[in-house]
Amino acid sequence: MTSIPTSVRDGPYSSNALASKWFLMIYFINIWISILLGVTHMLFYWEITHQNALIRIILLPVQIIVCYFLLLTASLLLSKLGLVLVDLVHKPKEGIFKRDKSDKDFYFWSLRAVIKKWPLWLSGIFPSSVLTNIILRLFGVKTSLRNNVNNANIETEFVELGKNIVVGKGSFIKSCMIFDKFLIIKKVIIEDGVILGPYSFVSPGTVIQENTALNSLAVTKMNSVLKSDSIYFGYFASEFQDLPEEDALEEFYIQMFEQTTNFSSKDTTYQDEKSTETKFIVNSASYISIFIIIYFFSYSIPLFGLYLYFTNLFYPYVVLVNPLLSNILPFTYFLVIFLTPLIFLLFHFLNILIVVLITKLYYEILCRISEPEEGTYHWSNKTKQYIHYFTRSFILRYVKWKVQRSPYPWLITPVFNFIGNCIISPGAIIEDLHLAKEFIEIGENAYLGKILLANQLWDAQLTVKGVKIDKNVVISDGCCIAPGTSIKNNTTILPFSITSKDDMLSPNSYYFGAPIQKITKKELFQLFDLQLDV
């Protein structure tokens, strides 16, 4: 957990749950209007600098930055307006609700998440704690501009933050949580001077009183109260009773971290003294050639289309018309301006589509040369399967990054299903996670939080095995799902749990811990302070 893939990122977020496809219309209206304001701004800039080309060129970088913040501001105001209107129809409230679109609270929670998504995506381009806190305030989160929350996975509603809070990288502040068949919404309160260690998890309903520290990898219980001036650690978080003197704090923190991780201190480094072969297949020439082809065609075709649009429509019907000198502007002037954001979106989709199509073509060719197979491989014996695994992994990596980092996270299901060797049911909710590129099967109504889902693992050898997740499975944030894992129907996994290779998780069950272990409903209530009508 020392790093995260480039295809995912930390920061304030909203769920990818989509209770209705009609919500996407609201989402794209927000994008369209905010881009329209950006286009209008750049057109105005062009008009006022038309007599001095040098000034226009010098100030262009500044105007691009101004245009970005105009986009962000417009999207935020539109989202805020949308949230106000939605709240008039159905006011957000705390509670435990059915995870079903027929439930109004789940339905409108999903709608609020979609409304917030575009400005949250834009804000990720310019990471700043001050900007993050401004956005959180606008969405109703009480926070201070001096709080360091930029690297935290923080909900954007039912959260109250005090002053001088430090949140470690990869931490989760969860006021809303999918659990089993339910959506749990409980307000989280974090008071002044609190420190959350990296990759800690604050559960819904938690209250952390002032000047308290939550250690790395610690998970709080639901509705728990962490006392002021204390240190909490462990899974689930418990108070450390005997705090040492200041000169012994360093050794204390080291020991506490070792207890928190719950891993053996034995040396588990795998060595193969007989083999000095390199593990990885790095065919740089082929990799670079493939990437250049994908990159060139995916950008050259949309850019050429944009060039034709600007030269044949935008320039003659908009740029050459000076609104400052015209008493009556022609209808085509307004029509072309209004269509320009849609043209941008169209060519952006075309860019992604070309990446997907070329990747699909390469993948099909590789599969015909050597059909992908699960198995265990040693780098001292570089079989055809071993070599082609690295090539397939390389060409799938870019399209995965392209889709997950785009403002259209819902594309991940159709794209991976189209390329092949993946089956993701349409009703599955896929959050911003590290998703395996092959050999995955995800059932209907499954929920995958921000997790690590891997189909390959390096230890003494390279293990490549598929992961099967049946319907109605819920995997909470921070979990690691190992190759070969099979999770049966209606199973829920608590946060920060880790499966081992080839684990078989029973249906209608609850699991938690590292290594993962099964618990009963009674133990679930005792450990997590959670009781559901199941």
Q: Is residue 30 predicted with pLDDT exceeding 60? A: yes
- 199 and 1 in contact (C-beta within 8 Å)? yes
**How high is the pLDDT of residue 6?**
52
SS3 state at 519: strand
**How high is the pLDDT of residue 389?**
84
Q: Could you say which DSSP state residue 412 is in?
A: H
CATH class of 374-380+397-533: mainly beta
| Residue 52 neighbours by CB distance under 10 Å | 11
**How high is the pLDDT of residue 280?**
59
Dihedral (CA of 141, 99, 31, 407) sign: positive
**How high is the pLDDT of residue 266?**
43
Q: How far is CA 448 from CA 205, 221, 250, 292, in A?
A: 22, 20, 37, 33
- 11 and 127 in contact (C-beta within 8 Å)? yes
Q: Is residue 527 predicted with pLDDT exceeding 60? A: yes
CB half-sphere exposure, 445, CA atoms < 13 A: 15
Q: In the chain, how long is the greatest CA-to-CA distance?
A: 84
The two tokens of residue 515 are 């290594």
Could you give phi then psi for residue 520, rounded to 5 degrees?
Answer: -85, 170
Average pLDDT over residues 287-306: 93
pLDDT in tens, 398-417: 999 999 889 999 999 999 99
Please report which confidence band the pLDDT of residue 159 belongs to, taking 50, 70 and 90 as the band edges. Answer: very high
Q: What is the 3 state secondary structure string of 361-401?
A: HHHHHHHHHCCCCCEEECCCCCCHHHHHHHHHHHHHHHHHH
Query: Where exactly are the structural domains of the chain?
Result: 11-242, 282-369, 374-380+397-533
Please report which confidence band the pLDDT of residue 341 belongs to, taking 50, 70 and 90 as the band edges. Answer: very high
Between 38 and 387, residue with greater pLDDT: 38
**How high is the pLDDT of residue 273?**
45
- 492 and 486 in contact (C-beta within 8 Å)? no
What rounded mean pLDDT belongs to the chain? 86
The two tokens of residue 524 are 């679930």
Average pLDDT over residues 95-113: 94
Cα distance between residue 163 and residue 494, in whole Å: 30
pLDDT in tens, 446-502: 999 999 888 887 777 788 899 999 999 999 999 999 999 999 999 999 999 999 998
Cα distance between residue 178 and residue 493, in whole Å: 11
SS3 state at 298: helix
Cα distance between residue 430 and residue 409, in whole Å: 8
Q: Could you say which DSSP state residue 173 is in?
A: E
- 158 and 143 in contact (C-beta within 8 Å)? no
Q: Is residue 254 predicted with pLDDT exceeding 90? A: no
- 466 and 484 in contact (C-beta within 8 Å)? yes
Between 139 and 246, residue with greater pLDDT: 139
Q: Is residue 277 predicted with pLDDT exceeding 60? A: no
Q: What is the pTM of this model?
A: 0.88
Considering the chain, what percentage of its residues have pLDDT values greater than 70?
Answer: 89
Contacts of 514 (CB under 8 A, 6+ apart): 235, 262, 263, 480, 496, 497, 498
Q: Which ranges of 13-151 would DSSP assign to H, the alpha helix?
A: 23-48, 53-89, 104-123, 129-138
**How high is the pLDDT of residue 271?**
47
**How high is the pLDDT of residue 375?**
83
Which residue in 426, 438, 366 sits closest to 397, CA to CA?
438
Give the range among 61-75, 189-203, 262-276, 391-405 with minimum mean pLDDT. 262-276
Please report which confidence band the pLDDT of residue 99 belongs to, taking 50, 70 and 90 as the band edges. Answer: very high
Could you give phi then psi for residue 400, rounded to 5 degrees?
Answer: -65, -45
Cβ burial 341-362 (10 Å sphere, 16+ → b, else e): bebbbebeeebbebbbbbbbeb
The two tokens of residue 6 are 């480039």
Between 246 and 373, residue with greater pLDDT: 373
351-355 own/partner pairs: CB under 8 Å, 24+ apart: 351/298, 351/299, 351/302, 352/298, 352/402, 352/403, 352/406, 352/408, 352/411, 354/294, 354/297, 354/298, 354/301, 354/302, 355/294, 355/298, 355/398, 355/399, 355/402
Which residue in 415, 294, 311, 301 sits closest to 347, CA to CA?
301
- 287 and 394 in contact (C-beta within 8 Å)? yes
SS3 state at 313: helix
